[in-house]
């Protein structure tokens, strides 16, 4: 028999509305008692008495045993989550930046107070990757976890490669559809998938990584020359985060645009869809595919967590208990394409080797091997206007 959940929800935006739309069609032994929102003057589709601008209306209500956090302010979300967990309330969140940045502390709070924080909706929308890493792969040796974690950037790249749209036109369309924000840097700059990657790495390898230490370059410097190169080689460009075991006790994490060929499972993941590729020692290669953006796909993942709380489900963080020796490294060599404008920039970047050079009146590029730490150290040079770097798989 499931226990009844009395819910207080912070935020009633796209995901909050999508979640409510799903909940009202189900009989799940739960009740949403109060919504806390930022703008009291905004017209709502539900009765006004359900809404408040005071966080205490939820956090101080002893009848509310479950908090659903769906706001876009990471630090405010952290304070809400920390206070709720510490006062005996379970929490469901979809805030990937908040979770990635504070996961170690939040894990300790859960252990101290016997509460549960679930966040399937924070990573890859409707794809249940966190639950699978926790349950299915808990005793598995994982070689790597990679994929397409950001629906906004993938939508833009799909329009460029499938419909010959310009980057600017594809971005504008993504913004009109609500896939990308007015300031799209979080998505096209690779920050959103970086936060998701840090969360995935915690469950896959048992490591807490400050996301600020993870390399991320996005697609915001993508140019016509790069698109032309990809088409000539029968590649597509995808923005791909990677967590990979590089030795028995080290993992590397980074987010880069990548040229991928049609033999990759990620090649045909298009539009706002996400795909997660897991390579394991015993299960071999497995692929997860689903919607990565939108109120209803993410709302379905949030609802899955809410439903699990009816049966007192908690993440056990088994890999953290079993993998104390695993550490994070940036000492890893990759093959890249680097288009650059200024010859002085290339001279100040230490490639391990360069296998190909191209010069024309319009642009120039090199193909070579470089260390991840060198990209981090020279990021300001590599990512300045007129340059674009992508890994070649």
Tally of CB atoms within 10 A around 362: 9
Residue 362 token pair: 């319009």
Q: How far is Cα 90 from Cα 240, in angstroms, rounded to an integer? A: 32
DSSP string, 185-219: HHHHTTHHHHHHHHHHHHHHH-----GGGSEE--S
CA-CA-CA-CA torsion sign (62, 64, 66, 71): negative
The most distant pair of C-alpha atoms in the chain lies apart, rounded to whole Å, by 71
Burial of 42 (0-12, 13-18, 19+ CB in 10 A): exposed
Which of 97, 64, 101 lies closest to 83, judged by CA?
64
Q: How far are the Cα atoms of 61, 234, 338 from residue 358, in angstroms, in the given order?
A: 66, 18, 10
* Axis-axis angle for helices 151-163, 224-232 (nearest 10): 70
Known catalytic residue at 279: no
CB 179 within 8 A of CB 152: yes
Catalytic residue of the set 97, 196, 221, 291: 196
CA angle 301, 307, 311 (to 5 degrees): 135
Q: Which residues are catalytic?
A: 196
């Amino acid at each position: 028999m499931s226990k009844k959940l009395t819910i207080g929800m912070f935020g009633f935006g796209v995901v909050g509305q999508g979640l409510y739309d799903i909940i009202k069609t189900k009989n799940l032994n739960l009740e949403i008692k109060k919504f806390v929102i930022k703008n009291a003057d905004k017209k709502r589709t539900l009765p006004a008495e359900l809404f408040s601008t005071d966080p205490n209306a939820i956090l101080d209500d002893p009848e509310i045993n479950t908090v659903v956090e769906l706001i876009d302010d990471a630090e405010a979300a952290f304070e809400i989550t920390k206070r709720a967990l510490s006062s005996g309330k379970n929490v469901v969140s979809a805030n990937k930046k908040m979770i990635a940045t504070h996961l170690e502390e939040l894990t300790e709070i859960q252990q101290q107070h016997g509460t549960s924080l679930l966040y399937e909706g924070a990573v890859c929308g409707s794809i249940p990757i966190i639950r699978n890493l926790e349950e299915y792969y808990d005793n598995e040796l994982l070689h790597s976890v990679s994929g397409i974690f950001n629906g906004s950037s993938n939508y833009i790249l799909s329009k460029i490669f499938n419909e010959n749209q310009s980057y600017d036109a594809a971005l504008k369309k993504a913004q009109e559809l609500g896939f990308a924000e007015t300031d799209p840097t979080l998505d096209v700059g690779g920050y959103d998938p970086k936060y998701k990657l840090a969360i995935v790495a915690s469950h896959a390898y048992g490591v807490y990584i400050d996301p600020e230490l993870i390399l991320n370059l996005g697609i915001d410097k993508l140019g016509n020359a790069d698109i032309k190169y990809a088409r000539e080689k029968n590649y597509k460009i995808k923005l791909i985060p990677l967590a990979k075991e590089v030795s028995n006790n080290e993992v590397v994490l980074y987010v880069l645009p990548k040229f991928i060929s049609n033999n990759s499972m990620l090649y045909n993941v298009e539009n706002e869809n996400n795909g997660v590729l897991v390579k394991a020692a015993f299960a071999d290669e497995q692929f997860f595919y689903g919607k990565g953006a939108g109120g209803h796909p993410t709302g379905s993942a949030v609802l899955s967590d809410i439903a699990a709380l009816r049966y007192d489900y908690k993440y056990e963080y088994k890999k953290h208990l079993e993998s104390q020796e695993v550490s994070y490294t940036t000492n890893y060599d990759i093959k890249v394409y680097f288009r650059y404008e200024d010859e002085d920039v290339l001279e100040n970047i230490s490639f391990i080797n360069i296998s190909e050079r191209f010069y024309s009146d319009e642009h120039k590029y090199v193909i070579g091997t470089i260390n991840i730490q060198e990209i981090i150290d020279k990021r300001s040079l590599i990512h300045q206007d007129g340059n674009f770097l992508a890994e070649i798989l």
